Chain A
């Protein structure tokens, strides 16, 4: 009996507990059902939109980039169509089989295959297109098209390549385009308020300006992005693609650059290191901006082998370095007209003042000797002779008597130590050496001798070719100037240098003395006379990299190419009404007159005798 009682008690307990658990699950079940009801009925529209947004894809369509012209309307950069083989990984079950099938009639690089396989899974998951092979040949295109019925998961797509018509001539001035990196891409998304979910029709298409004018005028050249809305069904097939906004083609860029002068510069430099900058005196626009050696822009924009790129990057010639905007060179004797202007303005000299040049200047403080380039000196020397024959002694003496702070102010007003160009890419403004700069940098006070060295453009004073060109332009235009620029017809205000004593007559005499540098029988660049049929004013310079105390030492340094002096010239013409100003630096070229001079004349010839 107790056993039956026990069984009965157990059964009742079991039933109660089972009911308890079932009721607990029942309550949970109601809660779950309520949640499902909430999702599917109460918030249906919200989730429906979310699902639609998931599957529909916004595709940004990049507009065609603007064309770049030279100042005469010659096309320098345009776009040419190319064809890529594009795949749709969503419809590819096995990428290896797919590649095998394609390889049976198309040659595909191992590198391309590797990239394809590594990106495949991601593209498949996101249902994005993936470029397998860029710029396929017409033959490959035809081979694929006849078999296209076998490939629902691939197609041939058209794309535009940036085409540099003169890839080795405008490398530094125009620059090149390229694929944006992650940071640049984020910036584009933000600036153009593009949806991050977008897919640029296919990968690799988006290009942006990386350097030069392509970078500076990126906004003008790019245009407006278009938008396509792609609707897909549950199998990933495109149902339709609606254009929600058309892309707007980028604006063309008209530059002040002159094609012929660049060709002349390229030829004259013949891959030697250096730079030439030429300026149209009418409005301060840059007609020539050339740095040598150059690099091939088409390859950089449209694909370069890593090996070739590394070779360029590591080359001792430093082809990527824009010497015209960033090369730091002592102006050497080409600074002398500027020192002369200062001397006249400050009343330290006039055109009649003369010294006896015995071949050196002695610093009164410590008896240190500063040598002229000509042994024995130039004898009795006035300013005209000092400029024409480039007497160092005369300018050592003048600089010695100058106030360094006032002199610096004067050099700054001529553009030294300041940015010369308003739309150049990464210009180095360098500096004018102040006594305080020397104290900070070298922890040494300013010596009188430092000022003396500046009188011949040596010592701490450095400048870039574009600054030298601006300086030549200001002198050619008698103190009036505008900021330099590369875009044609840019509205700029005209500025001028204020003088008290330096008069129009002084300008005339200064020009005359500089004309005599070439035209006079004793001028330092007289050998240039035969190379042209108009009159040019100039000042040569030879920037010493190593100063030797005596002739033997000097001869030794000449044996090492990289220690040889830089050859410089600034020039403007045709005189008496100059139209162009030019500066040339030839690294390790030694003699301003005979090495830099011919380059300057070639460029001027191409501009003046067109």
Chain B
């Protein structure tokens, strides 16, 4: 049974996901408190997001997946409109127009696209026969690229990459033909130099170059990675203790509350702390895997699979960057980094996952 029956109404939930996500969120608050140098206002703001986020997750678990299926196009449209509002009317921060300000809080609507794009694609491909024909494949890819280009024009390469991946995951899981995958990969590899020269900003090329050769620019873009590695490495097995990370607190590490919070955790809690943290994430992945395999229909399968892979990708891109294996790109550590938009979007994603996992199709007796 996936629901509590209170005679009049039922609550749908998944105990494993709710408990592990809540645990991770609370742990995140604890880490954030240290990463922000004990800044109470940061902690309170984030706590409010976590509290209402978890409630939102439970609320979104209640509707039948059929609702998400029927309104998927509407949700995606709303998300894209919000992105346009951010581009044209939002405040410009550091040369980017990613945010919509609501006075007390600013949100990043592009985060919603990474949830509703895969859901829309899943609904679109729901009835498509295997293998997916070329027309459907190209239409889907066209849609993915449109959303990708809109978001990257903000500019926000990190989120745009995740959106691109989110769409491709669903397309792949739905049964994209291997022939198509093979030829697309070949074309991609061939056009790589062209993409490098025409689509990447000079600072992005620099970041990739320094990844392979940090000595190239020890005080520029490689500085962050060098300091991040020092922070992680000097954490050792048990870490320096809560609030004792010198790299984190003496301003050697950049963006400690957001992108580089993983390095703060590594410095203060060591390999032991990281293993516990990674263990929690691992548990969520395994649970999502189980839920998607056992989902009630193709739409639910694709959505659970797609959304959980978005979550995994965000985590891997963030950690990969912080430990120096991937180029520096703005990407939060899911459920932990400071910032309401990322947090809320993942609560929405898990709300939808739980809805799909806990509503069983009523089989006529």
Contacts and interface: CB of A to CB of B under 8 A. Distances in A.
A7 interface: yes
Contact of A234 (B240, B266, B278): B240
A35 interface: yes
Interface stretch (A45-53, A371-379, A474-482): A45-53
Interface in B122-139: 129-130
Nearest to B231: A51
Contact of B230 (A25, A47, A126, A235): A47
A127 B232 CA distance: 21
Contact of B236 (A9, A29, A41, A50): A41
B257 to A, nearest CB: 16
A25 B266 contact: no
Given A41-B236, A51-B234, A233-B246, A13 B130 contact: yes
Contact of B229 (A14, A39, A125, A126): A39
User: Residue among A37, A50, A126 with the most chain B CB within 10 A?
Assistant: A50
B298 A40 contact: no
A332 B174 CA distance: 105
Interface residues of A, number: 42
A31 interface: yes
Interface stretch (B14-22, B107-115, B248-256, B338-346): B248-256
Contacts of B323: 32, 35-36, 39
Given A9-B130, A18-B289, A236 B249 contact: yes
Contacts of A10: 130, 175, 298
A509 interface: no
A508 interface: no
B129 A6 contact: yes
B305 interface: yes
B40 to A, nearest CB: 13
Interface string A75-119: 000000000000000000000000000000000000000000000
Contacts of B234: 44, 47-48, 50-51
B216 interface: no
A234 B242 CA distance: 10
Interface in A12-68: 13-15, 17-18, 21-22, 25, 28-29, 31-33, 35-37, 39-41, 43-44, 46-48, 50-51, 54-55
Interface stretch (B44-52, B62-70, B312-320): B312-320
B237 interface: yes
Nearest to B235: A40
Contacts of A54: 227, 230, 246-247, 250, 252
Contacts of B232: 36, 39-40, 47
A456 B285 CA distance: 104
A22 B246 contact: no
A232 interface: yes
A10 B305 CA distance: 14
Given A28-B316, A47-B233, A54-B227, 7 more contacts: A14-B174, A14-B301, A32-B319, A36-B274, A36-B323, A51-B234, A236-B249
Interface of A: 6-7, 9-11, 13-15, 17-18, 21-22, 25, 28-29, 31-33, 35-37, 39-41, 43-44, 46-48, 50-51, 54-55, 124-127, 232-236
Interface of B: 129-130, 169, 172-175, 227, 229-237, 240, 243-252, 266, 270-271, 274, 278, 282, 285, 289, 292-293, 298, 301-302, 305, 309, 312, 316, 319-320, 323-325
